[in-house]
């Protein structure tokens, strides 16, 4: 791990890149599930598909909405969702900012971008009262799509996942089976589940069971 | 099951997402070093147990993870209002009279139940048989 001090920043926060400088095989949160044969890529007719998106950059931003909004707009080109439960994406949909609580937002960016983004945000925010936490190693993202994706979710979460309860551009923290999930809807036909890394196996096992009648497959 | 309105998420959620954290609006004695044992004991250990309107602290632990307050009727389980931290309730039980009528048990000098304090301290002492 290479240590670096954020330049231009008045703060003396030590930051470091969590990605190793040498090429080391990383294991996705579902590695164990695959190894144990829980996930069988050949199974399922694919009416509902779960795709794992491991190693994305997850940053938790905390602070005042106005200051953070300015900085995120400047560095990411996406505005901070002003309303509760909001979810904003950039033009190509690969970077997102989600409202978590009145002073907390989740930024998800493609793998490897998070360290640079954190440095740029720190430089931009300077002396402002804020916190940035890199949560990339702690959580992972599962994408759920297909015509019966909503039925699978209806069996799994207490939240109303119909379009009038969870329209596109909304993300909620709620109960998934017996654990918590950050459920987002970036597109009409797709749901995203941000789950704890250590619960990824549990969530996938639950989804496989709940989606068996729809031929759910995991990629 | 409760269906609770979270003032921060601005919508109703299932009770499963929440967790109760006891009585709301408990103020710490301003000068703990110099307050009486009775005052400090009340603050630490004694809570109201009213029959009727009660102000409670809840946390939306699986949602926004913020604490907020609920005014609830403990006899009907009806939630009368929810309001964020730092605000005062708009629905309150009238003081004294109504509280007495409702059989409110207030924490007062270490005695949880109204009328539990014996008139004569000797009544509480064990009598040698």
State the DSSP H helix or E strand holding residue B100, giving kind and residue range, or none if neither.
helix B97-101
B12 CA: distance to closest CA in chain A (Å): 10
| Beta strands A48-53 and A139-146, pairing class | antiparallel
Superfamily of domain A56-135: Heterotetrameric sarcosine oxidase (3.30.70.1520)
Q: Domain limits at B71?
A: 3-114
Q: Give B80-119 pLDDT, tens digit per residue.
A: 999 999 999 998 886 433 444 444 445 444 444 444 455 5
Q: Which residues of B touch A170 (CB under 8 A)?
A: none
CB contact under 8 A, B17 and A102: no
Residue B19 lies inside a defined structural domain of this protein:
yes
Alpha helices, DSSP H, located in chain A: 31-35, 65-76, 114-125, 149-154, 200-210
CB contact under 8 A, B62 and A173: yes
Q: Give A188-203 pLDDT, tens digit per residue.
A: 999 999 999 999 999 9
User: From the CB of residue B77, how many other CB atoms can be counted at a distance below 10 Å?
Assistant: 8
Count of structural domains, chain B: 1
In this structure, which topology does domain A28-55+138-219 adopt according to CATH? Gyrase A; domain 2 (3.30.1360)
Residue B41 lies inside a defined structural domain of this protein:
yes
Nearest to A44 by CA among A204, A186, A157: A204
CB contact under 8 A, B9 and A172: yes
State mean pLDDT over A65-73: 95
Task: Inform me whether the pLDDT recorded for A180 exceeds 90.
Answer: yes
Residue B127 lies inside a defined structural domain of this protein:
no
Cα separation, B77 vs A166, whole angstroms: 29
The domain that holds B65 is classified in CATH as 3.30.2270.10
DSSP state of B87: P
CA atoms within 13 A on the CB side of B116: 12
Q: Which residues pair with B84 in a beta bridge?
A: B68
ipTM for this model: 0.87
């Amino acid at each position: 791990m290479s240590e670096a001090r954020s330049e231009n920043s008045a703060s003396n926060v030590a930051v470091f890149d969590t990605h190793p400088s040498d090429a080391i095989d990383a294991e996705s949160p579902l590695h164990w599930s695959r190894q144990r044969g829980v996930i069988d890529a050949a199974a399922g007719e694919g009416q509902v598909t779960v795709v794992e998106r491991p190693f994305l950059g997850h940053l938790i931003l905390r602070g005042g909405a106005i200051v953070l909004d300015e900085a995120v707009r400047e560095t990411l080109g996406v505005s901070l969702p002003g309303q509760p439960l909001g979810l904003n994406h950039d033009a190509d949909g690969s970077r997102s900012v989600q409202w978590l609580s009145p002073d907390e937002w989740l930024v998800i960016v493609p793998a490897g971008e998070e360290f640079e983004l954190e440095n740029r945000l720190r430089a931009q925010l300077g002396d402002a009262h804020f916190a940035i936490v890199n949560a990339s190693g702690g959580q992972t993202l599962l994408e759920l799509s297909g015509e019966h994706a909503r039925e699978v979710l209806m069996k799994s979460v207490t939240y109303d996942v119909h379009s009038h309860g969870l329209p596109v551009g909304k993300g909620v923290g709620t109960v998934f089976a017996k654990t918590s999930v950050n459920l987002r809807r970036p597109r009409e036909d797709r749901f995203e589940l941000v789950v704890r890394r250590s619960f990824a196996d549990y969530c996938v096992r639950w989804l496989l069971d709940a989606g068996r009648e729809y031929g759910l497959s995991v990629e | 099951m409760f269906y609770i309105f979270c003032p921060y998420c601005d919508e109703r959620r299932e009770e499963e997402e929440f967790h109760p954290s006891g009585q709301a609006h408990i103020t710490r004695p301003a000068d703990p070093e110099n307050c009486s044992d009775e005052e400090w004991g009340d603050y630490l250990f004694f809570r109201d147990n009213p029959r009727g309107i009660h102000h409670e602290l809840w946390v939306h632990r699986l949602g926004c993870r913020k604490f907020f307050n609920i005014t609830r009727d403990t006899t009907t389980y009806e939630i009368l209002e929810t309001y964020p931290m730092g605000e005062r309730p708009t629905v309150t039980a009238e003081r004294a009279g109504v509280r007495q009528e409702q059989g409110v048990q207030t924490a007062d000098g270490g005695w949880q139940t109204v009328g539990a304090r014996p008139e004569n301290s000797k009544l509480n002492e064990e009598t040698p048989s």
